[in-house]
């Protein structure tokens, strides 16, 4: 499914540029993706579209780090499904001020819709890119670098 999502992200730079799901399905079939992967990705994208349309963003203000007066508490199911690495990565992006609460909720919702426990961090990065994509928001260069860069060769300082 994630290969299909990456293809959609790379070929349709914004969510509003993406064709309707039926037309997208035909294009994905023409590119040789497996029908099961296509249907799973289209169901996931349909949920993403719904979540993005339901989200309320404060466009007047730039995204700010999580308020010291509020805190997101993850349910046991979310903790189990997302795992410590994904929760840590989400927290990192929130603390950096690049993942506002509305976008975080889209990410968590869509991550919970992915099969397998726990979700891989690389898969979460694709989910985050797709959340930005679906809302028409452009991640800044540092966020894009963090989401797209292979960190396996990095050495901590």
Q: What is the mean pLDDT of the chain?
A: 85
pLDDT of residue 18: 85
Number of domains observed in the structure of the chain? 1
Cβ atoms < 10 Å from Cβ of 125 = 18
Residue 154 vs residues 85, 122, 124, 150, 151: alpha-carbon distances, Å: 17, 15, 19, 8, 5
Q: How far from chain centre, in Å, is Cα 77?
A: 19
Residue 153 domain flag: no
pLDDT grade for 154, boundaries at 50, 70 and 90: very low
Q: Residue holding tokens 């509305």?
A: 102
What's the CA gap between 10 and 89, in Å, rounded? 23
Distance CA 44, CA 113 (A): 7
Q: Is 99 part of any domain?
A: yes
Q: Is residue 157 part of a domain?
A: no
pLDDT at 59: 52
How far is residue 49 CA from its own chain's centroid? 12
| 154 within domain boundaries | no
pLDDT at 153: 52
d(CA 82, CA 117): 7
If one compares 51 and 152, the residue with the highest pLDDT of the two is: 51
pLDDT at 17: 80
pLDDT at 144 over 70: yes
Q: pLDDT grade, residue 120 (50/70/90)?
A: very high
Instruction: Select the more confidently predicted residue: 32 or 65.
Output: 32
Q: Considering the domain boundaries, does residue 136 fall inside one?
A: yes
Which positions ≥6 away from 79 have C-beta within 8 Å?
Answer: 87
Helix axes 35-54, 101-112, angle to 10 degrees: 150
Which pLDDT tens digit goes with each residue over 22-54? Answer: 999 999 999 999 999 999 999 999 999 999 988
Domain that holds residue 87: 2-148
Domain annotation covers residue 56: yes
pLDDT at 137: 85
Query: Is 155 a domain residue?
Result: no
């Amino acid at each position: 499914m994630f290969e299909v999502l990456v293809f959609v992200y790379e070929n349709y730079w914004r969510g509003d540029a993406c064709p309707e799901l039926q037309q997208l399905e035909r294009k994905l079939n023409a590119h040789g993706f497996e029908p099961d992967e296509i249907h799973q990705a289209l169901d996931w994208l349909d949920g993403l579209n719904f979540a993005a349309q339901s989200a309320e963003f404060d466009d007047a203000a730039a995204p700010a780090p999580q308020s010291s007066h509020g805190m997101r508490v993850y349910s046991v199911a979310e903790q189990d499904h997302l795992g410590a690495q994904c929760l840590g990565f989400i927290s990192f992006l929130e603390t950096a001020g690049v993942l506002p609460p509305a976008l975080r909720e889209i990410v968590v919702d869509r991550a919970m819709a992915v099969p397998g426990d726990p979700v891989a961090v690389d898969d979460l990065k694709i989910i985050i890119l797709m959340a930005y994509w679906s809302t028409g928001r452009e991640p800044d260069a540092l966020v894009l670098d963090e989401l797209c860069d292979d960190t396996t060769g990095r050495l901590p300082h």
